[in-house]
Structure 1
Amino acid sequence: MALVMVAQDKGLFQAQGLDVELKEFTAGKFALEAFLAGSLDFAISGDVPPLLAALQGHKFVVPAQLVGRTVNEVRVVVRRDDHAGSAKEYFGAKKRKLATSIGGGPEFFTYEFLKKLGIPPENIEIVSQKPGDMPAALVGGSIDAVAIFDPFAFIAEKQLGNKAATFTDDSIYSELYVLEAHEDSRENPETVEKLLKGLIAAEKFVQASPDESKKIVMKYTSLDRATIDGIWSSFDFRITLTPQLLEYWNREVLWAKETGKAAATTNVPDFRSYLLTDPLKSIAPERVAL
């Protein structure tokens, strides 16, 4: 996430006395897996992977979101044909093959999106694919559509050009990004507080210096300036905790049970118990909107 890269590059973690090493993953669910395995002290992912981990009994805490919201950051990009006038027409015309990131926000969005359209399961083949492989697969024609987050949605649109059609619906879901920390942060919140202070300083830098912030993201990723410019406004970079996170988690439980990711008899935890609010409250209480 941009805030982490900016904080690292501008020495904002170091200013808090933290020695931070960044590890890049192609999807947040992979970062969370490494975190749960003990390879990382902290992780950043979308909101779905920690929900599934909680249902599996894993213990961790979420001290903050790194965005207040996103805007159509997860969306469906399709190979345009004569039926691409609307999503309902496109997916209702014939059986389509759609790639998404299984176990993450894009899969949840796909399920809710198709459900709202009334597309029966037999009309679509959903396949799991790495986000980085999706644009080439879509261009090559081995799949008809992708449901994925940026920058991969933007890259797919860019590579397909006028052969692409995009369908969005942020009333269904707009992915949130969260910070995960280990449970011992409850008793020892000092490191979390320092991390959040560094991220809040990065947020202020991004607001004041978007051009330099974009250059920093370019330095830490393989993304070009056109891609970063194209996706930047999709993110409300903000250290916060909002009711939207709990709302999504409660909806995602139903999805997990309906799709067999969790047994119907799975005990649903109190998700508030996964939120570690004290560190952010102690620094900037106005940022905790729960």
Structure 2
Amino acid sequence: MKRRSLLVSIGLFCLSLLLIVSCTTGPQTSPDATSSSPKVSLGFSAWPGWFPWQITADKGIFVDNKVKVDLKWFDGYLESINALNAKQLDANSQTLGDTVSSLAGGADLVIVLVNDHSTGNDKIIVREGINSIQDLKGKKVAAEEGTVDHFLLLQGLKKAGMKPDDIEFVPLETGQAATAFVGGQVDAVGVFPPFTTQALKRSGSKTLFTSKDFPGSISDHLVVTRDMVEQRPEQVQALVNSWFATLDFMAKNPDVSTEIMAKRAGVTIPEYQEYADGTKIFTLTENIAAFQPGDTMNNLPFAAEQFSDFLMSVGLIQEKPDLSKLFDDQFVKAAAAKAQPS
């Protein structure tokens, strides 16, 4: 499983035009709704903040909100990004950093919802004997190149006054990186659930730092094509309404919800429950606040500028994209107005 790559190059964007979405595991489709509009193709992949979409489909919440949805599961997160860039999806679950990268590569996308912030589930895990970030100097550190865990690693190095070439970076797919770490082939690894569980099985291993140490640095979103916003805004609204209805269902039915999400994640219920504190699901009120201008990483316009600068500084994008039309909060505001008592 590849999760949340920050590197979406123009080359990958072009290649994605040839991507055949059917190569992923079979799509999961909600029952037909009453709407006569075409189905919405919505992608998601392995991350605790996106597993609720499985509840939305399984419990008929899309149908309740009168939208027909093909919910497509991607084993490879990067494949979902490529599919959205190629307009083989109408919407996708992806990070802010990836979306900025996609804009730089020529995609025309809109963020309409904040699913969550990573508050500890992204981890840099190290072997016995490494007790500080400075101890990583000259060590082999594995992560999937361009993913947010690579980004987290670079953020940690920067905070410690180190440069990327102070370590021996080993680019490996996330699952392979965890395996290499457990096998003693590398000294440290950047991973996310469920691979954090695997990595920590190495004797003497421990977490060095996590996304909790960099608040707001990893945010996850519902991202749609601009065509969706301009041509089918009622369906975008239905997706947003369905998300918040799902959060209501989860609050009222925690056991059933956890069972569905654990099954989709391929882990046991106790293992899934360990991930709960590492992801902060955003409420409606928190969504509205996130879209406002400000000077913290909790303010999306500010965070996008910071990501753009960072991606430029490490050479992951060649020029800063136009961020002026990236965010559209009309849908979360409409959802909030609908939720107000009459």
One-letter code aligned to 1:5? Q
The structure-2 alpha-carbon separation of the partners of 1:91 and 1:153, relative to structure 1 and needing over 3 Å to count, comes to same
The alpha-carbon deviation at position 120 of structure 1 amounts to 3.6
Alignment pair present for 1:255 and 2:337: no
Aligned match of 1:230: 274
The structure-2 alpha-carbon separation of the partners of 1:221 and 1:120, relative to structure 1 and needing over 3 Å to count, comes to closer
Aligned match of 1:5: 54
Paired residues of 1:26 and 1:132 also in contact (CA < 8 A):
no
Paired residues of 1:154 and 1:231 also in contact (CA < 8 A):
no
Alignment pair present for 1:167 and 2:213: no
In 2, Cα distance between equivalents of 1:22 and 1:51: 24
Paired residues of 2:122 and 2:149 also in contact (CA < 8 A):
yes
**TM-score, normalised with respect to structure 1:** 0.87
The alpha-carbon deviation at position 284 of structure 1 amounts to 1.2
Paired residues of 1:29 and 1:46 also in contact (CA < 8 A):
no
Unaligned runs of 5+ in 2: 1-49, 292-297
Quick one: percent identity of the two aligned structures? 22
Query: RMSD of aligned C-alpha atoms?
Result: 2.2
SS at match of 2:281: strand
The alpha-carbon deviation at position 267 of structure 1 amounts to 4.3
Q: Report Cα offsets for 1:168-198 as digits up to 9, x if no partner.
A: 2534354211111111223221101111111
The alpha-carbon deviation at position 272 of structure 1 amounts to 4.2
Aligned match of 1:209: 253
Paired residues of 1:78 and 1:164 also in contact (CA < 8 A):
yes
SS at match of 2:275: helix
Aligned match of 1:34: 83
Paired residues of 2:120 and 2:277 also in contact (CA < 8 A):
no
SS at match of 2:207: strand
In 1, Cα distance between equivalents of 2:86 and 2:281: 28
The alpha-carbon deviation at position 117 of structure 1 amounts to 1.2
**TM-score, normalised with respect to structure 2:** 0.74
The alpha-carbon deviation at position 79 of structure 1 amounts to 1.7
Q: Report Cα offsets for 1:39-83 as digits up to 9, x if no partner.
A: 22211012211111112221011111111x3311222011223xx
The alpha-carbon deviation at position 122 of structure 1 amounts to 3.6
SS at match of 2:73: coil
Paired residues of 1:66 and 1:179 also in contact (CA < 8 A):
yes
SS at match of 2:88: coil
One-letter code aligned to 2:243? L
SS at match of 1:99: strand
Paired residues of 2:118 and 2:219 also in contact (CA < 8 A):
yes
Aligned pairs for 1:115-126 (under 5 A) are 115-126=158-169
Alignment pair present for 1:101 and 2:149: no
The alpha-carbon deviation at position 262 of structure 1 amounts to 2.1
Q: State which of 126, 129, 134 in structure 2 corresponds to 1:78.
A: 126
Alignment pair present for 1:246 and 2:316: no
Unaligned runs of 5+ in 1: none
SS at match of 1:62: strand
Aligned residue-pair number: 276
One-letter code aligned to 1:147? G
Aligned pairs for 1:152-163 (under 5 A) are 152-157=195-200, 159-160=201-202, 162-163=203-204
